[in-house]
Amino acid sequence: MKEIRAYIQPFMLSTLTQTLLDIPHFPGMRVSDCDGYLGCEKVITEHDFTLFVTKKRIEIFAQDELVDSIVNAIMPIPISRA
C-alpha cells in the first residue's frame, strides 16, 4: 500500500475527481484546503501582500497495483528527469 499526495489548483478538483472515479477499484481520497508558497507565485490584492497561494491537498491510500494509474491520472504529462 502506498500514500499518494498531490497539491492542485482548486479549479482542477472536479475534473480530477471524475478522472479518478473512472479508475476501477479506486479507493477514494481525502481533500483539504492548504496554503503554500512555491517561490515563484505571488498574490497581491489592494490591501494585502501575501506569498501564499490557496491549493487543494489530495491524499490517497492505494494498493500497489493502482498507484501507476492514479499517478498518471493526476500527472498526465510525463516529467523528464535529467
User: What are the residue ranges spanned by the domains of the chain?
Assistant: 2-74
pLDDT of 8 over the 80 cut: yes
What is the reported pLDDT for 35? Answer: 87
pLDDT in tens, 13-65: 999 999 999 999 999 999 999 987 766 555 555 556 567 788 999 999 999 99
**CATH number of this structure's domain 2-74:** 3.30.70.120
Cα separation values, 60 from 30, 42, 53, Å: 7, 29, 22
What is the reported pLDDT for 76? Answer: 78
pTM of the model: 0.76
What count of Cα atoms within 13 Å lies in the side-chain half-sphere of residue 58? Answer: 22
